[in-house]
Structure 1
Amino acid sequence: MAPETKVFDAIVIGSGQSGTPLATALVKSGRKTALVEKSHIGGCCINEGCTPTKTLIASGRAAYMARRGPGYGIPSHVDGAADMIKVRQRKRDIVSNWREGGEKRLKNAGVTVFMGDAKFVGEKEITVESDVGQEEVLKANLIFINVGERPAAPPLDGLEGVIATLPEKVLDSTSIQELGEVPESLIVLGGGYVGLEFAQLFQRLGSKVHVIQRAKQLLPREDPDLAESMKDILMEDGLKVHCSTEAKHITVDPLAQQPITLTTHSKLDDSTSTVTGTHILLATGRRPNTDTLNLAASGVQTDSTGYIPTNEYLETSVPGIYALGDCKGPPAFTHVSYDDFRVIRDNLDLLPYPSASSFGKPIKPHSINTRKSAIPYVCYTDPQLGHVGLHLHDIPTSERKNIQVAKMPMSYVARALETDESRGMMKAVVNGETGDILGFSCIGIEGGEIMAVVQTAMMGGLKWWDLREAIWAHPSLAESLNNIWGYLEDA
C-alpha cells in the first residue's frame, strides 16, 4: 500500500547553514514546512566542516605553543604525539552541543523534520526513505534544495586497490577527523585551503607531513607572493612541500612500516620520485550532493559537474524550486550559504524579518549579484590567511593604470613582535586615483580579524587614507593599518 502524500507549503532539503534558518523563517511566516535531512542536523559546517576542524586546529595550536614555551621563558615538557582520543572527544563534544542546539531550535519553531534520503518523483513531489526503509511522500509548491557537497577522490592510478587493502589509511576531510591516533607520517594530496589546514594540524600533533601540490604554487587562488609566504611558514614548521608535482601512481604494502607509496612526477625538472607514508589525505576537491536526488523527475537542470544553476534570486530552471549553498556552485563558504538564506528571506518577504524598506532605506533587491560586500574568507592555518575583495592577479595588466599595491611584513607590526608571532605579510590593492580599497590580504596572527577591519572600511566606502589617519588603540593588530600605506607602489 502506497504511503499517503503529506502536503506542505514548503519543503527544505538539507539542514545546512541556509536550510535550517530558512525552514524556521518559513514556519514563522505562516507556511507549513518540512525539513528533510539525510544524516544530521546542521549540515557540513557544524558536523564535518568549520566547527570540528577549527576545534581540532585549536588543539594543534595548543601543542605548538606548549613546545614554544621555553622561547617565552616558560618550561615545556611536551614529548611525543598528542593524545588523539582526547583531541577527538573534545571535537565530538563541541559538535554534539551545536547539533543538539539546532535540533531544539527546529523543534521549538514547529518545523516538521524527516530524517532520510530525499528523491524527486515529480516536479514538486519527493519521497523520503529512512535508514530502516520507511518511506514518506511529501509535496509542496515551494521546494528549496540545500544538499551541499562531499569530498571527491581524484583519478589516481592504483587508488582503488589501496582503498580495498587498507581503507582506514586512505582519508578524506571527513574521515581524518575521526582518527583515534596521530599518523606517523601523512601524505596530503592537494595544497589548497583544506589540505593545508590539515597538513599543519597533523604536523603539530606529531605527524611527519608531505604536501603534494600539482599547481606551481600553494593556494592557487592567491597572489604568488602570498602563496610563497605561506609555503615558507609551513616549511619552517617542518612540513615537506612539493609544488609542480603530480601524483601518478599509488601502491600499498600492508606489511611495511610505511605501507603507502606515492609515485610523483615533478614538472620542474621532469623527474620521478616516491613519497611514503602511513596514511594519505585526499584533499583535491569536492562534488555536489545532487546525484542522488533524481532531479530529472523534477525538471531541475544541472551543469556538467552536477551543480544547480540558478538566477540571481536562487531560483532554478523550475519556478518555485530554489537551490542554496554549496550545491549551486562556488564559492563554497558557510557565510555565502547563510547569505543565500537572506536572499530568499528578503525576496519571499518571510516575516517577521523586516525588509530594508521598513527602515526607510530603499536599496536594490537583495540578490547574489548585489551582496552587501565583497565576499571574504579565511584559511585557518596558523598564522591565518584572511582575504577580501580583489587580488592583484584578478586585475588584467592592461587595466592597472591607476592601481597601486602596498605590502608590509608582519615583522613590522608591534603587536606581532610583542607576542613573537611575526610571520607573514599584509597586502592591499587600491585605486590610486580614487583611494578606493579594492582588496586586502593578511597572512598573520589573527589575519582574519585584521581583514575584517578592512572589509568594514570597504563596506562603508572609506578610502585607504582614512585608515592611515585613524587613531587605533596601541598596541593592537589593527594599528598596522596606519602603516601599511607607506609602502604603496604602482602595480
Structure 2
Amino acid sequence: MPGFDAIVIGAGQSGPFLAARMVEKGMKVALIERKFLGGTCVNAGCMPTKTLVASARAAHVARRAADYGVTIAGEIGIDMNVVRKRAETVTMNARNGLISWFDAMEGMTVIYGQARFEDARTVVVNGERLTAPRIFLNVGARPTIPDMPGLSDISYLTSTSIIHLDVLPRHLAVIGGSYIGLEFAQMYRRFGAEVTVIERGPKLAPREDEDVSDAIADILRDEGISVHTNADGIAFARASDGISVKVGAGVPDIDVSHVLIATGRTPNTDDLGLDRAGVATDKRGYITVDDTLATNVDGIWALGDCNGHGAFTHTSYNDFEIAAANLLDGESRKLSDRILAYALYIDPPLGRVGMTEKQARASGRRIMISTRPMSRVGRANERGETKGFMKVIADADSQQILGAAILGIEGDEAIHGFIDAMNAKAPYPVLKWAVPIHPTVSEIIPTLLGDMKIVQ
C-alpha cells in the first residue's frame, strides 16, 4: 500500500498548485485526476470559452468596420472549424504545460483514474490503495442537467460539449439566462446563428440588481437575441428539421436546430465514497467546510468549486492560497476574509465586486449610491461602445465601499480599482481624490464617487 504525505484528488485550479508547494517542502504527494489536468478552467471553461468570445468579438467588430471608416469588401464569414481548433490549441497548450511541469517535479506522482475513499485515510484508484494523513479534494463541478419534459428525447449541448461544435447552428436555444448561457448566446449570435434565451426566472443574470439585469437584456436584444423570461413550461420534442421548444403559455413553440442546457453546475462529489470517509455535504452535494477549508473530518480539506464557496478560477486559486498559507507558511488566513468579485464576459463585460444594492439595503445599513452611464466615459465614446453603466454602493457612516458594478467597455478591468480599495479597506474619498490616467475607463471613478448620495 503506497504511502504519501498528502493526496490531492482533482487537478483543477487549487490542487495542482497546492501539490507543487508541498513537494517544494520535501513532501511526497500523489495527484489523482480522472481526466485532464487543469480542471474546468483549462479544458471546458475560461480558456476555451474566452478564446471563442474573442473570435466572436472579431466578427462583431469586422461587421462594424464601416462605423470606423474601415472598408471591408464582401460578407464577413465564419469558419467554425478554425474557431474550434483555435480554442482547442489554447487548451492543449495550457494542459501540456501542466503535464511538463509535473513530469519534471521530483516527489510528485500523477495518477489518472477515478479515486474513491475506502476510509478517511485511504483512497483507492485503479485498484490500488493509497494512504496519506492529509487529503485535499479539488474535484470541481459539471453542468447540471435539469428534469424537463422531453429533454431525454433530444440531443442537446452543455457548456462542455458546445466548445467542440464545428458547425454553425441555424437556431440555438439557450436554456438558462445566467452567466454561462449568456456568454454562449451572444457568442453564437455574433457567429451568425439565430439565438433565443429562455429563462425560468423573472430576469436574466438573477444574482444582479434589476437595473443591471435589465441593461444586460437590452444589450443582447440590441444584437438580435430573443429573450424569454418567466418561462414556466419549458419542454422539448423532436421535429422534422430539428427540435421544437415549448416556452410556456402565450408563447409560440420555437423551432431550433440546437439546444444548449446552461442551468447551473453540480459538484462532482457523488462518486467519491465520501460516506466511507465520513465527509459531510449539504443538500446540493457541496462539501461543507469551515473558515480554513477543512471538512468535518480531521485531515481532509475541500478546495474549489466542490465546496460551494465560489465557482470561479480565481476563487479556487484563492482556496489554494488560504490552504498553503495556513498549512505550510505558518499564517492564519480565512475564507471569510475574501471579497467576492467576478465578471460576466458578454461584450461589453460586467465587472462585479461585493454587495449588490439589494443586499446592501437588506443589511440594514445607511447606504450611498452613485451611477454613471458609460456614454459619459471618454474611452467608451472614442471606441464607439457606450452601452452600460457604472454603479457604486458605500456605507454612509463608515464610508467603506460595499460593492460596485461596471457594465461596459473594459468593465472587467476597471472594476479592480474598487476591488483593491475594498481589500485595502480604504474609504471611498481616498479614490475620489485619486488622479487617474486619461483617457481610460477608470478615470470616471473619482467623478462617480464625487456624486455619492444617501438613499432611503
Question: Could you tell me the TM-score, scaled by structure 1's length?
Answer: 0.90
Q: What displacement does 1:397 show?
A: 5.0
> Which residue identity lines up with residue 462 of structure 1 in the other structure?
A
* Structure 1 segment 41-56 matched on structure 2, within 5 A: 41-56=37-52
> Which residue identity lines up with residue 177 of structure 1 in the other structure?
I
Which residue does the alignment assign to 2:246? 263
Q: What displacement does 1:455 show?
A: 1.1
| In the alignment, structure 1 residue 146 sits paired with structure 2 residue 125 | no
| In the alignment, structure 1 residue 465 sits paired with structure 2 residue 429 | yes
Q: Distance in 1 between matches of 2:334 and 2:124?
A: 30
Aligned residue among 211, 214, 218 for 1:225 = 211
| In the alignment, structure 1 residue 394 sits paired with structure 2 residue 373 | no
- Asked whether the 8 Å contact 1:387–1:451 carries over to 2, the reply is yes
Which residue does the alignment assign to 1:189? 175
Which residue does the alignment assign to 1:136? 128
Which residue does the alignment assign to 2:262? 283
- Asked whether the 8 Å contact 2:356–2:404 carries over to 1, the reply is yes
Range 143-152 or range 305-314, more displaced: 305-314
| In the alignment, structure 1 residue 17 sits paired with structure 2 residue 6 | no
Aligned residue among 337, 348, 354 for 1:370 = 337
Which residue does the alignment assign to 2:59? 63
Query: CA deviation digits over 1:356-376, x for unaligned, max 9?
Result: 6xxxxxxxx2021223xx111
| In the alignment, structure 1 residue 443 sits paired with structure 2 residue 407 | yes
Q: Distance in 2 between matches of 1:244 and 1:139?
A: 50
Q: Distance in 2 between matches of 1:250 and 1:453?
A: 45
Q: What displacement does 1:261 show?
A: 0.8
- Asked whether the 8 Å contact 2:141–2:306 carries over to 1, the reply is yes
Which residue does the alignment assign to 1:345? 324
Which residue does the alignment assign to 2:280? 301
User: Judging changes above 3 Å, is the alpha-carbon distance between structure 1 residues 92 and 124 closer, same or farther for their aligned structure 2 residues?
Assistant: same
Q: What displacement does 1:93 show?
A: 0.7
* Structure 1 segment 111-126 matched on structure 2, within 5 A: 111-126=108-123
Q: Distance in 2 between matches of 1:303 and 1:334?
A: 22
Q: What displacement does 1:62 show?
A: 0.3
SS of corresponding position for 2:197: strand
Q: Distance in 1 between matches of 2:181 and 2:453?
A: 33
Question: Could you tell me the TM-score, scaled by structure 2's length?
Answer: 0.96
User: Judging changes above 3 Å, is the alpha-carbon distance between structure 1 residues 447 and 355 closer, same or farther for their aligned structure 2 residues?
Assistant: farther
Q: What displacement does 1:467 show?
A: 2.0
> Which residue identity lines up with residue 288 of structure 1 in the other structure?
P
Q: Distance in 2 between matches of 1:457 and 1:304?
A: 36
Query: CA deviation digits over 1:281-309, x for unaligned, max 9?
Result: 00001111111111122111222221110
User: Judging changes above 3 Å, is the alpha-carbon distance between structure 1 residues 480 and 36 closer, same or farther for their aligned structure 2 residues?
Assistant: same
Q: Distance in 2 between matches of 1:283 and 1:122?
A: 35
Query: CA deviation digits over 1:89-136, x for unaligned, max 9?
Result: 11111111111111111222221000011111222111112xxxxx32
Q: Distance in 2 between matches of 1:119 and 1:462?
A: 46
Which residue does the alignment assign to 2:103? 107
* Alignment coverage as a number of residue pairs: 454
- Asked whether the 8 Å contact 2:138–2:306 carries over to 1, the reply is yes
User: Judging changes above 3 Å, is the alpha-carbon distance between structure 1 residues 379 and 429 closer, same or farther for their aligned structure 2 residues?
Assistant: same
Which residue does the alignment assign to 1:425? 389
Q: What displacement does 1:490 show?
A: 2.5
Aligned residue among 190, 199, 221 for 2:185 = 199
Q: What displacement does 1:355 show?
A: 5.2
Q: What displacement does 1:221 show?
A: 0.6
Q: What displacement does 1:78 show?
A: 5.8
Which stretches of structure 1, 4 residues or longer, exceed 6 Å deviation after superposition? Answer: none
- Asked whether the 8 Å contact 1:212–1:246 carries over to 2, the reply is no
Query: CA deviation digits over 1:190-217, x for unaligned, max 9?
Result: 0000000000000001110000011111
- Asked whether the 8 Å contact 2:62–2:76 carries over to 1, the reply is no
- Asked whether the 8 Å contact 1:13–1:19 carries over to 2, the reply is yes
Query: CA deviation digits over 1:68-89, x for unaligned, max 9?
Result: 0000000124636511100011
SS of corresponding position for 2:253: strand
Q: What displacement does 1:26 show?
A: 1.2
- Asked whether the 8 Å contact 1:247–1:262 carries over to 2, the reply is no
Q: What displacement does 1:330 show?
A: 3.5
Which residue does the alignment assign to 1:274? 253
Which residue does the alignment assign to 1:132? none
> Which residue identity lines up with residue 245 of structure 2 in the other structure?
L
- Asked whether the 8 Å contact 1:150–1:289 carries over to 2, the reply is yes
> Which residue identity lines up with residue 449 of structure 2 in the other structure?
W
Q: Distance in 2 between matches of 1:437 and 1:398?
A: 14
Question: Unaligned stretches of 5+ in structure 1?
Answer: 130-134, 357-364
> Which residue identity lines up with residue 131 of structure 2 in the other structure?
K
SS of corresponding position for 2:336: coil
SS of corresponding position for 2:91: helix
Q: Distance in 2 between matches of 1:121 and 1:78?
A: 63
Which residue does the alignment assign to 2:147? 155
Q: What displacement does 1:462 show?
A: 2.5
Q: Percent identity?
A: 40
Range 433-442 or range 447-456, more displaced: 433-442
- Asked whether the 8 Å contact 1:9–1:31 carries over to 2, the reply is yes
Q: What displacement does 1:474 show?
A: 1.2
SS of corresponding position for 1:35: strand
- Asked whether the 8 Å contact 1:80–1:206 carries over to 2, the reply is no
Q: Distance in 2 between matches of 1:466 and 1:287?
A: 41
